[in-house]
């Protein structure tokens, strides 16, 4: 009954058009003050302690690094490098867009930032070369989703923050540890590469069937020259992932390093940004960070309410007692998250749903890292689905296409992403093979 009251109140507040963060806070405060005896000072304490986690510091740093790279000409050099590698294949410039999105995703951590950085440069070039505008928009909108699957990823950090400190009991009655940021980053490498390959194949096949333009084959000298120019941007991947894996620094410290590195590359190496542009980038990053941190604070309060009322544990027991198997649970979770992704922002969904679903998943024997990657893939699809898909709005602004026309144009790639979601959900080894080989998970 308490669960129905909480979710009913939250749904009513969100249907009024209220921002998710405020709806979360009002739901918690209304329930705590009317249905429980929790003292006010406990609520105030939770509001402040909710963002005291060290991992949360990674979020503003990754946002800052992504903004420096978006404004610093790194994307243009990555597109040139990708074009030199795959431009001579069918749909060469479109394939270059997929490869460039994957490369930029490996240094930005944000899907909308990837769409802006790559799409604003490559879409006009595709139209000029004779590609249909809808085809180019479909490629960039969906490939931009790689921004939250290929590490580093802000949504992965959100998942670890939302579940950290939770007590989850496995099917054998033992306590199971939550996933760390490092585990999630390493686990995202193979799925990210696999999805990039699947999107590239869809792009190549559609381009071949329609006989879209191809670029002249680049010489090895041209490829090396393009690589040399893109080197400083690509090196950031080694700095972040290599530093985390070798233990030189934590994921949060890696985020800070990436922000400093991105600043140096954009301002002093490539010199596409002047020092006078830095305050604008800092202000933009601060605005986005403040918005996310406010959502996190209220989501942590909501998670406290769930735990206080013992709702996740009760849901887990009920599902186990009703005979629900792990594969049936994953199917239900996918349907729930896909529906939520059509009208909510990924960070909000992750922060609300992860604390509720995580203990149930662990109770049914699902690995926390595998479950986290599955949530990220659902969020990736949500970014490309109307009416609230952020990637759709960003791509619409670049291409000047209407939302309905843009939605129709992404359908082949969206179907590919749904097939990929099924693979990730029911073949855990795709996610767990690399972290297991590196000794990060059992």
Q: What is the largest CA-CA distance in the chain?
A: 73
pLDDT score at 222:
92
Tokens 């405060």 belong to residue: 29
Q: How many CA atoms lie within 13 A of 133 on its CB side?
A: 12
CA–CA separation, 419 vs 421, rounded Å?
Answer: 5
Query: CB within 8 A of 351, min separation 6: which ones?
Result: 158, 161, 162, 295, 296, 299, 300, 302, 303
CA–CA separation, 49 vs 63, rounded Å?
Answer: 22
pLDDT score at 8:
84
CB 135 within 8 A of CB 212: yes
Verify cis geometry, omega within 30 degrees of 0, for the bond prior to 275.
no
Among 339, 414, 423, which Cα is nearest to 374's? 423
pLDDT score at 72:
65
pLDDT score at 51:
67
C-alpha distances in angstroms, 324 versus 102, 170, 264? 37, 15, 53
Q: What is residue 312's three-state secondary structure?
A: helix
The 8-class DSSP code of residue 169 comes to: E
pLDDT score at 151:
87
CA–CA separation, 184 vs 251, rounded Å?
Answer: 10
Query: CB within 8 A of 133, min separation 6: which ones?
Result: 123, 127, 399, 401
CA–CA separation, 246 vs 242, rounded Å?
Answer: 6
pLDDT score at 296:
78
Among 370, 372, 347, which Cα is nearest to 430's? 370
CA–CA separation, 61 vs 108, rounded Å?
Answer: 10
CB 372 within 8 A of CB 160: yes
Among 389, 163, 162, 164, which Cα is nearest to 296's? 162
CA–CA separation, 305 vs 21, rounded Å?
Answer: 15
The 8-class DSSP code of residue 176 comes to: E
pLDDT score at 391:
84
User: How confident is the chain (442 residues) per 10-residue block, as mean pLDDT?
Assistant: 78 79 83 78 73 77 84 82 90 91 85 84 87 90 90 89 81 86 92 95 93 88 92 85 80 87 89 87 87 78 76 71 84 89 80 86 92 94 82 82 85 95 95 90 78
CA–CA separation, 372 vs 378, rounded Å?
Answer: 10
The 8-class DSSP code of residue 268 comes to: I
Alpha helices in 16-110 (DSSP H): 20-35, 40-49, 58-71, 74-86, 92-108
CB 50 within 8 A of CB 301: yes
CA–CA separation, 408 vs 398, rounded Å?
Answer: 17
């Amino acid at each position: 009954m308490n669960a129905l009251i909480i979710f009913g109140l939250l749904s009513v507040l969100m249907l009024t058009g209220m921002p998710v963060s405020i709806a979360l806070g009002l739901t918690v405060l209304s329930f705590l003050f009317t249905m429980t005896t929790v003292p006010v000072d406990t609520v105030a304490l939770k509001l402040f302690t909710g963002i005291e986690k060290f991992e949360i510091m990674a979020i503003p740093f990754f946002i800052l690094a992504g903004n420096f790279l978006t404004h610093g000409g790194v994307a243009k050099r990555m597109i040139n490098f990708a074009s030199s590698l795959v431009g001579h294949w069918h749909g060469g410039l479109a394939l270059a867009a997929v490869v460039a999105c994957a490369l930029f995703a490996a240094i930005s951590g944000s899907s909308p930032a990837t769409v802006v950085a790559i799409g604003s440069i490559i879409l006009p070039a595709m139209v000029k070369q004779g590609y249909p505008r809808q085809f180019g928009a479909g490629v960039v909108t969906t490939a931009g989703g790689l921004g939250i699957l290929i590490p580093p990823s802000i949504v992965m950090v959100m998942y670890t923050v939302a579940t950290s400190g939770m007590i989850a009991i496995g099917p054998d009655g033992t306590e199971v540890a939550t996933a760390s940021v490092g585990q999630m980053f390493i686990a995202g490498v193979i799925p990210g590469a696999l999805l990039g390959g699947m999107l590239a194949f869809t792009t190549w096949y559609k381009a071949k069937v329609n006989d879209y333009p191809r670029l002249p084959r680049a010489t090895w000298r041209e490829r090396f020259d393009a690589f040399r120019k893109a080197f400083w941007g690509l090196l950031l991947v080694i700095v972040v992932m290599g530093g985390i894996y070798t233990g030189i620094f934590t994921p949060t410290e890696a985020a800070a390093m990436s922000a400093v590195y991105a600043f140096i590359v954009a301002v002093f190496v490539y010199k596409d940004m002047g020092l006078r542009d830095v305050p604008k980038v800092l202000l933009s990053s601060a605005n986005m960070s403040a918005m996310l941190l406010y959502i996190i604070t209220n989501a942590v309060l909501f998670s406290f309410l769930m735990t206080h009322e013992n709702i996740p544990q009760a849901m887990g027991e009920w599902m186990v007692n009703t005979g629900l198997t792990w594969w049936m649970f994953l199917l239900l979770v996918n349907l729930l998250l896909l529906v939520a992704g059509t009208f909510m922002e990924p960070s909000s969904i992750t922060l609300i749903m992860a604390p509720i679903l995580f203990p149930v998943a662990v109770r049914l024997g699902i690995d926390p890292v595998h479950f986290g990657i599955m949530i990220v893939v659902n969020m990736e699809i949500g970014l490309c689905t109307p009416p609230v898909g952020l990637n759709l709005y960003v791509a619409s602004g670049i291409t000047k296409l209407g939302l309905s026309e843009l939605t129709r144009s992404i359908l082949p790639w969206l179907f590919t992403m749904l097939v990929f979601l099924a693979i990730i959900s029911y073949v855990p080894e795709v996610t767990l093979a690399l972290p297991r080989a590196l000794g990060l998970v059992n």
